[in-house]
Amino acid sequence: MNRHAARRQTPEERELERKHAELATLESELADRELEFVTLQAELQVFEARYLRTVGRLYAELDDLEAQIAEAEARQHPREDRLRDQAARARATAEESAYAVSTIVETPENRFTPSDDLRTLYREVARQIHPDLATNETDRARGTAAMAEANKAYAAGDEAKLRAILDDWHSSPEAVEGEGVAAELVRTIRKIHQVQRRLAELANALTTLRHSDLYRLKERADAASAVGQDLFSEMADQLSTEISALWKRLDLIRKVAAT
């Protein structure tokens, strides 16, 4: 009998091997879904900022003019509660529009276009430091903070920051794990359950984003761009025409009130 023959794996070791393989597949899927989610979020943020800069400002001006007109008409008929209520609602809408425009996130580009290297790096960060791969609250909190920083770095296109986050994670004392097949098996099973839960959350979050009004507007804009049209320019032209008509109407109301 060969004394150097390989030792047979125990049932726990075989199960651990299977669970490691299952977890590796899930980790890869999780990294892909996190990348998909954070990319779509960044694309929509850039798109929304562009929309607010070009079309949103005009909507804010239009809403303010409609509020001024409603208020002027209410002053002309002070006993009309209906007009006073309409004016209040119009002013509230105008204030909401003005606030939306005031919170525009300035972006250097009209589109979020991450490089392949940036996407690959983010995917690796998500695969290694994701909080849902943690097996205790300390590691989960640490992973949550690191992923939040990684998401910001990705949206900013900062590869150096992403690499620094990954390096810091690997060099941390908390990265050292305990030993023992039984303990590792329990940790792995918990990680699998956590990753599965997060995948379900991401699926719901992606569905919500893709059913949002902003996403539908982006689809319209992309479709128009594909055939050489600029949806925002067309919307802006229409709004400018409406704004011009509202100015004329407001001037007329003011002239009547002054007589």
Pick the most confident of 72-81, 97-106, 207-216. 207-216
C-beta atoms surrounding 118 within 10 Å: 19
Q: Which residue has the higher pLDDT, 231 or 180?
A: 231
* Residue position matching structure tokens 């810091």: 168
**pLDDT tens string 190-220:** 889 989 999 999 999 999 999 999 999 999 9
**pLDDT tens string 151-166:** 999 998 999 999 999 9
- DSSP H helical segments within 77-158, as ranges? 81-102, 116-129, 137-155
Average pLDDT over residues 234-253: 96
Percent of the chain residues past pLDDT 90, beyond the cut: 66
Is the predicted pLDDT of residue 187 greater than 50, yes or no? yes
What is the overall mean pLDDT for the chain? 89
3-class secondary-structure state, position 110: coil
Average pLDDT over residues 168-188: 75
Do 88 and 75 form a contact (C-beta atoms < 8 A)?
A: no
Q: Which residue has the higher pLDDT, 256 or 90?
A: 90
Domain ranges of the chain: 11-216
